[in-house]
Amino acid sequence: MYILISLLIIFFLFKLANRSTSKNPREMTLEVLTKTVESFLNNQDRPYDWDDFLTFPISDSKMNAFRIECIKIDDLTEPGKEKIRKLLENLIEEFSKTNK
């Protein structure tokens, strides 16, 4: 019985945490996003930086779409990282076009 109650409490805590993060996407600049991704690609990130980046929604729709595409890449060896590099280049190019 105690196990069931504990599991229910844990379930509701996770639901509450997920609800608050999805309602409050974080603000992020392109520079911060680029630095975060490049740190990961160059194996210079701190533990959990990449997981944090993938986990929390970003308020900018283009950057959040990039984040979602990164989530879809399962292979985090060099071929997968090359896909992420290309996605990042495309994102930077897209931002440069819209900011001219």
Asked if 30 contacts 98 with a C-beta cutoff of 8 angstroms, the reply is no
The range of the structural domain enclosing residue 71 comes to 26-98
Q: Is residue 11 part of a domain?
A: no
In a domain, 33, yes or no: yes
* Residue 78, domain member (yes or no): yes
Query: Which residues does the chain have with pLDDT short of 50?
Result: none
Q: What is the pLDDT of residue 19?
A: 58
Report the domain count for the chain.
1
Rounded CA separation 25/23 (Å): 6
Backbone angle region of 98, left / alpha / beta, with phi > 0 → left and psi within -120 to 50 → alpha: alpha
